[in-house]
Amino acid sequence: MCAAGLHVWGLDCHGFGAFSDPWPEFADPATAHLPLGRAEDASLQLEHAVRFIVAGHFAARCPEGVDRMVFFAPFAERVRRAGSRRLPAWRLISVQDQWNGFI
């Protein structure tokens, strides 16, 4: 995409990826907190990133310079099933877990 002349930004959400800062809650047992990285947290992180790169201001000021904004891996609401279990704040995810999530 960059080679095509597009400006591309990759955002690393807090607590995910090899180079992101861990959540402070990672120092506690996973059962001590509610799940991390929910939409509220993610939207705040996105807000900070957008403010940093000034994408929102640029799009409002120069709409002819923005064809579209694409969000990879959007957060979606899942339908809760009766008897669903309470998730821990965090857990280790294996390569197989990642694969299962994509298929």
Residues 8-46 have pLDDT tens digits of 777 777 777 667 778 888 899 999 998 888 888 888 888
Q: Model confidence over 9-19: pLDDT tens digits?
A: 777 777 776 67
Q: Distance (Å, rounded) from C-alpha 90 to C-alpha 25?
A: 8
Task: Spell out the domain ranges in the chain.
Answer: 24-102
Q: How far is CA 65 from CA 20, 55, 62, 71, in A?
A: 30, 11, 6, 18
CA-closest candidate to residue 87, choices 78, 100, 74: 78
Contacts of 23 by beta carbon, 8 Å cutoff, 6+ apart:
14, 15, 36, 37, 89, 90
Global pTM reads 0.46
In Å, how far from its chain's centre is CA 90?
14
More confident residue, 59 or 94: 94
